[in-house]
């Protein structure tokens, strides 16, 4: 008997290659004015790509993981996982439609060179102080 898993409400049969391929796709490429962020708990948020001010990718402090940070005009988005360069490239070319957070337990279900997102965080920046311009500083 083939084991089945329940991943965020979806039935997943490890013997079915089509399901394995759809599970391993943690992002969606296409054309959209927004990026949809899908969290493990089922929550979804979207932000408009026109509001991206800055993006960077770097190795995380732990092992082979990478961190992709996106600075939007109102939010900061942190994407942590493995092989995130493809997602970074899609963001730069305005072709990322969706990013999906996945449980770390299923990292072995994807190929070594495929992106896998283990943490997704969208932070409201309303409390952050914006840098003032030199003209605004009083002497």
Question: Residue 2's pLDDT is what?
Answer: 41
Report if pTM > 0.85: no
**Residue 19 predicted with pLDDT over 60:** no
Domain with 82, as residue range(s), is 33-126
Q: Is residue 1 part of a domain?
A: no
**What's the CA dihedral at 51, 65, 7, 41 to 10 degrees?**
-50
Q: Is residue 56 part of a domain?
A: yes
Q: Is residue 93 part of a domain?
A: yes
72-82 residue pLDDT tens: 999 999 999 99
How many distinct structural domains can be found in the chain?
Answer: 1
Q: What's the rounded Cα separation, in Å, for the pair 62 and 5?
A: 28
84-96 residue pLDDT tens: 999 999 999 999 9
Q: Is residue 28 part of a domain?
A: no
């Amino acid at each position: 008997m083939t084991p089945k898993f329940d991943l965020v409400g979806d039935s997943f049969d490890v013997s079915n290659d089509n399901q394995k391929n759809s599970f391993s796709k943690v992002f969606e490429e296409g054309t959209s004015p927004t990026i949809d962020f899908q969290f493990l708990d089922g929550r979804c948020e979207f932000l408009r790509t026109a509001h991206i001010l800055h993006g960077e990718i770097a190795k995380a402090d732990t092992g082979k993981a990478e961190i992709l940070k996106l600075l939007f005009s109102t939010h900061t988005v942190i994407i942590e996982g493995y092989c995130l360069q493809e997602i970074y490239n899609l963001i730069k070319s305005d072709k990322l439609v969706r990013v999906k957070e996945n449980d770390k337990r299923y990292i072995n279900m994807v190929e070594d060179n495929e992106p896998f997102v283990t943490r997704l965080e969208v932070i409201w920046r309303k409390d952050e102080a914006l840098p003032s311009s030199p003209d605004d500083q009083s002497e």
